[in-house]
Structure 1
Amino acid sequence: MDGSTQQIHPLNNHSTLVEFILLGFSDVSNLQKFLFGMFLIIYLIIVMSNSLIIIITWTDSSLQTPMYFFLGNFSFLEICYVSVTLPRLLTNLYRQDKSISFMGCATQMYFFLVLGVTECFLLTVMAYDRYVAICSPLLYPLIMNNSFCIQLAVGCWISGVPVHVGFTYWIFSLPFCGSNELNHFFCDIPPVVALACGDTFKIEILIYVIALSVVTIPFLLILGSYMKIISTILKLPSATGRSKAFSTCSSHLIVVALFFGSGIITYMRPKSSHSARTDKFLSLFYTVVTPMFNPLIYCLRNKDVTIALKKFLLRRNML
Structure 2
Amino acid sequence: MDAASHRLHGRASHFVRETPLWKLPASALGLKLADGVECWLKLEHLQTGGSFKARGMMNRLLANEIPASGVIVASGGNAGIATAAAARALGVRCEVFLPGVSPEAKRARLRALGATVIVVGELYSDALAACLARRRETGALLTHAYDQPEVVAGAGTLGHEIERQGGLPDSVLVSVGGGGLIGGLAAWFEQRSRVVALEPERAPTLFRAREAGEPVDVEVGGVAADSLGARRIGAISWEITQRQVRDALLLPDEAIRAAQLWLWKELKLAVEPAAALPLAALQTGAYVPRAGERVCLIVCGANVDPATLA
TM-score of Structure 1 vs Structure 2, range by shorter chain: under 0.3
Higher relative contact order at CA 8 Å, sep ≥6: structure 1 or structure 2?
A: 1
Larger Rg: 1
Give the structure with the larger strand fraction.
2
Give the structure with the larger helix fraction.
1
TM-score by length of 1: 0.27
TM-score by length of 2: 0.27
